[in-house]
Amino acid sequence: MSKKNSSKNESSYNQIMTEKIKSQGNNGKSNHHNESITNNNILDKDFQLRALRIMLLARNIDNKAMNLLRQGKTFFHIAGSGHEAIQVAVGLSLNPKKDWLYPYYRDLAVVLSAGVKTFDFFLQCFAKEDDPATGAKQLPCHWSSKELNMPTQSSPTGTQFLNAVGTALAMVKKGKHNVTYVSSGEGTTSQGEFHEAINWASREKLPVLFVIENNKYAISVHVEQQSGGKGSSIEAMMSGYENLFHKRIDGTDFNESYSVVQEAVQYIKEGKGPALIEADVVRLFSHSSSDDQKKYRDHKELEEETKRCPIEKLSQKLISEGNLTKEEYEQIKKEIVEEINSAADLASQAKDPDPNNAVKNVFDESGLKESLEYEKSKPSGKPVVMVDAINHALHEEMERNDKIYLFGEDVADAKGGVFTATKGLSTKFGEERVFNSPLAEASIIGVATGMALSGLKPVVEIQFGDYIWPAFMQFKSEVASIRYRSNNEWSAPVVTRVAVGGYIHGGLYHSQNIESIFAHVPGIYIAYPSNAADAKGLLKTACRINDPVLFCEHKGLYRQSFATSPSPDADYLIPFGKAKIVREGEDITVVSYGVSMWDSLLAAKKLEHEGYSVEVIDIRTIIPLDEETIFNSVKKTNKAIVIHEDTFTAGFGAEIAARVSDNCFQHLDGPVRRIAAKDSHIPYSPILENAVLPSREQIYSGIKKLLEF
């Protein structure tokens, strides 16, 4: 599907609007400009009229969208009415051809200032196929534009802050001098990821402009119940950061807003650090079309808020100074309403989305991963343990691709990772490309996502699977959905290496398996190698494909002799979704991965002496799953058992068993069985741990019992 809006409806709309703009004396210029305007221009009549026009456009789009919803023609809207002054001040201070924008869902005036078209807004409002931001896959008011350096936006509050920091970090790494803008309401500053973002940006003096649009209400919760800053101020709460420019302003006053934004941008461009502006604004509409603020806000308060309307402030200023007559003002409003009505009418007639596209672009469909040459050599080097094979893969891929940046907790030398998987990398490639992150998992994944959106290839380490959960919001709501929700316009192919698994007496918080939970998240590939050669081949593939990968490394296998294999060469790649038949057999199929695969193999060898022929399959990747190899094996052996280390209930084995039952039922001579850990946390005592995790005896007995069925 085209992302360039080449429909007849848009062509008609553009012709109409080109004539309108010319007739208004704007010489066909768009709302945004390419170079920052100096402070001397703040009193310029034409500049203020341009700002007023954008503010009126945003306000009347809000009005139109709400009317359409009341008429039952659309489904959702979230208004920015009352926020326009600070938003236009930001939009006219940045250059969308150089700077990056991470606006939040209320930032209509920002995106209009940057160059988003009225027609494009209504394509999204009506959920049309040619909606350039999402292809009708997201709610309205979720902005996205490759042309304007505006990455696709999601609904969760606060996730965008770390992404913006990642993009700013990437720009610094690339030697580019620009600004990354990111915004939210005051309620979102209660989220930990906001504070993590401020911390990272301030510590490294990154060029980020944080704008907090404080309308005092997070839906119905007042800022006094949200912020611990002095006077409930976000800016006051941030005052302890040494490198952070911070000011609180009247965000309904355009001139004040523009002046302070210019000051903040100058501070950023001088390399002094990030800036935070807390803009006091008013929320003239309810939180969203699903809310009614009259239920929880006093009538007198709403009346007072209306008196602070930013559009009334600027228009009355221009009129009082003789720069605008009341008649001219009414004419501008009339023209804008006509523009909006025309755009809405044409957008309503545009093509609806094709249901066949509903599941497109969950993963990369470009053919890149299919074009790679896999397993073109046989591992034949010196025997290598798994952790060293991973280290070699990282060295080789970083040497091959200078866009790879590696970071995480303790990954730099002399530590080189808690398991030494990253040993030597910072020494070889420098701390610009290999560096330690703060001890904050959400920061690691959020920053990596922003770097990936800018075109880099982050390969990050989460020290233990047990500690990945603070980052789960970034995985689920950002990394996994970016390609889908932007309709293939953006992608975040972050590679996340993580140590998982038990049998090392690590207790509850150093023994977890996480694959089944992440397998439930569409958009992330999951690898789980069981030996050195597979680990190297799969990791190198992960570094080359254009999809996010969760790379599970069982720490119990890092240095196990039975997981050792001949070292593959630098071009050795293994495809995702291709299982390996580790041992051929005729009587039963064992499907497994990780440590359990090795225990299954030992059981198969023992059962061979008893006259049984056991086929063992190592699936190697959880997502995608090689169903073909599994099904073909089951059709041959007529029995299947799935064995893994994770819990029995809702472990990934349940998914495999269900698929085998669905597709191979007529070939089965017995039930599809599972062997897994007990539904328990993993205790520290080796005696207790052995009672929870599947043992070799349990695996042997379970396979034999099904053989005898």
Q: Which residues have a catalytic role annotated?
A: 510
- Residue 411: both structure tokens together: 């990954």
Q: How far is CA 96 from the centre of its chain?
A: 21
Structure letter (DSSP) for residue 347: H
Structure letter (DSSP) for residue 619: -
Please name the residues in contact with 107: beta carbons below 8 A apart, sequence gap of 6 or more: 80, 83, 87, 143, 183
Tell me how far apart the alpha carbons of residues 668 and 385 are, in angstroms, rounded to a whole number.
38
Please tell me whether residue 514 adopts helix, strand or coil conformation.
coil
Angstrom distances, CA of residue 471 to CA of 448, 523, 605: 11, 16, 41
Burial status of residue 410 (CB atoms within 10 A of its CB: 0-12, 13-18, 19 or more): middle
- Residue 687: both structure tokens together: 């005696």
Please name the residues in contact with 645: beta carbons below 8 A apart, sequence gap of 6 or more: 501, 502, 503, 513, 594, 595, 596, 676, 677, 693, 694
Structure letter (DSSP) for residue 150: B
Burial status of residue 481 (CB atoms within 10 A of its CB: 0-12, 13-18, 19 or more): buried
In degrees and rounded to multiples of 5, residue 183 shows phi and psi of -140, 165
Judge whether 586 and 522 are in contact, CB under 8 Å: no
Amino acid letter, residue 183 = S
Position of tokens 């008649």? Answer: 327
Burial track 671-705 (b if 16+ CB lie within 10 A, e otherwise): ebbbbbbeeeebbeeeeebeebbbeeebbbebbbe
Tell me how far apart the alpha carbons of residues 664 and 673 are, in angstroms, rounded to a whole number.
14
Tell me how far apart the alpha carbons of residues 607 and 587 are, in angstroms, rounded to a whole number.
11
Burial status of residue 263 (CB atoms within 10 A of its CB: 0-12, 13-18, 19 or more): middle
Report, in angstroms and rounded to the nearest whole number, the Rg of the chain calculated over CA atoms: 29
| Pairing outcome for strands 100-102 and 180-185 | parallel
Residue by residue, what is the 3-state secondary structure of 182-218? EEEEHHHHHCHHHHHHHHHHHHCCCCEEEEEEECCEE
| Pairing outcome for strands 580-583 and 614-618 | antiparallel
Q: How many residues does the chain have?
A: 709
Tell me how far apart the alpha carbons of residues 436 and 457 are, in angstroms, rounded to a whole number.
16
- Residue 310: both structure tokens together: 């930013």
